[in-house]
Amino acid sequence: MSITLESLACWLVDIPTIRPHKLSMATMGCQTLAIVRMQCANGLIGWGEATTIGGLSYGAESPEAIKLAIETYLAPLLCGQTFSGPAALADKMNAHVKGNTFAKSALETAFLDAQGKALGLPVSSLLGGALTTRLPVLWTLASGDTEKDIEEGQRLLAEGRHDTFKLKIGARGLDVDIRHALAIKAALGDDVSIRVDVNQAWDLTTALKGIARLQDGGIDLVEQPIPLWDRQGLIALSQRFAVPILADEAVATSHDGYALASNGFTGVYALKIAKAGGPVQALKLAHVAQAAGVALYGGTMLEGTLGTVASLHAWSTLNLQWGTEMFGPLLLKDDIVVRPLDFRHGQVTLPQGPGLGVEIDEEKLGYYARK
C-alpha cells in the first residue's frame, strides 16, 4: 500500500537512567531519544526513534545531528512524495543523503508504523512474519562496581526477570577488568550465561591475552574486543578461540557482513537497526549471515520503547541463536509510551497491534522534550 508523506517532526527527548551506565567510552546518566512523527496523507501517523550512546563518544551521529539531518535534508526530500514501501523510501534517502543511518532508521521505522496501521498489520508481518511473540532478553550489568553488579545480578535472578547478563569492560586496565568479569561469573554461578562487551577498547595484543583468560573463566561470548577497522584482527580472534567473538561496530551493513564472512569470520553478528539504516536494512545483514552460517544476536542502542519495539519486530522474524539485549526501556526512569513492554522470565513480549503496536503518551513526550 502506497503512503504519501505530508510532514515530519522531530524532538530530542532526554530521560534519566535508573543508575549510571558505564561503558568503555562514556558513562551515561541520561539517554537522549530522537523521536520522529510522520504525518501521512491518509490521516495516519507513524512514529520512529533514533538513539545513540553517549552522544559522539560512541559513533559518528549525535542526537542533535540526527534532528538536524531530518529537518534540514530528509524532510524536504521526502515530504509530498509517495512511496510504495520501505524499499522505495530507502532508495530515495540513500540516493540523496550519504550515511546518517540513525536518522534513516527512525524514518524507515515511522514509515513501517504508518503502513502497518493502514493495512491493519503488525510491522513483523510486513517484514516476513513473526516466528515468535516472546523473545529472550538479557540485562547489562554496567555500574562499574563489582559488588554492586553482583548484587544487581542476584536480585534480577531472584526476581526471575533475567537469567543472562552482559558486562561492560574495557575502560580500566586488563587485569582489573578480567578480575571484575570473573568475580561476577563466579558469584552468579555456572548456570548463568555471562557475556562481555569491550566496545573496541583493546588492541589485538591485549585481546589475545584477555580473551584467553575470559574463555578459561567460563565467559560465553566476547563482543567487539578490538577497533572496528581491524577486520583481519577480528577474523583471526574468531578463528583462534573457542569462545565466540561477537562483531558489533565492525558490521553495520550487509556489505560489512559479506566482507567478514567471505574472509573467514566464524563468530556472531550483532544486528542493530540504527547502524543498518532501519529494520528492513538490518534484515539484509541477517540474511547474509544466515547464508554464510554466521550466528545472530539482536542488539540495542539503548533505545526507549519505540526503537526497541521496531527492533523486536525485525528480530521476531529470525532465529537468533544468541538472543537479544533489548532491555533499553528498563534502563530508563520513564518512557513516552502509554503502556510499557512486558519483561518477564528473561523474555520480552512483542506487541501485536497494527504498526508497531505502541501508543505514544504525548503529554510525556512534551514533558521530556528538550526545549
Same domain, 109 and 136: no
Q: What is the CATH number for 101? A: 3.30.390.10
**Tens-place pLDDT, residues 260-305:** 999 999 999 999 999 999 999 999 999 999 999 999 999 999 999 9
CB 145 within 8 A of CB 153: no
Same domain, 66 and 150: no
pLDDT at 18 over 80: yes
Torsions phi, psi for 31 (to 5 deg): -115, 135
pLDDT at 26 over 90: no
User: What integer pLDDT is reported at residue 58 of this predicted model?
Assistant: 80
Q: What is the CATH number for 321? A: 3.20.20.120
Secondary structure (3-state) at 223: strand
**Tens-place pLDDT, residues 79-88:** 999 999 999 9
Domain containing residue 293? 126-349
User: What integer pLDDT is reported at residue 208 of this predicted model?
Assistant: 98
pLDDT at 25 over 80: no
Q: Please give the average per-residue pLDDT across 220-239, as a whole number.
A: 98
Q: Residue 364 domain-assigned?
A: no
Same domain, 149 and 23: no
Residue 151: active-site member: no
Name the active-site residue from 168, 185, 272, 275.
168
Q: Give the C-alpha separation, 213 to 216, whole Å.
A: 5
| Ramachandran quadrant class, 218 (left: phi over 0; alpha: psi -120 to 50; beta: rest) | left
Q: Residue 358 domain-assigned?
A: no
User: What integer pLDDT is reported at residue 23 of this predicted model?
Assistant: 75
Residue 71: active-site member: no
Q: Give the C-alpha separation, 332 to 344, whole Å.
A: 17
Name the active-site residue from 152, 249, 303, 325.
325
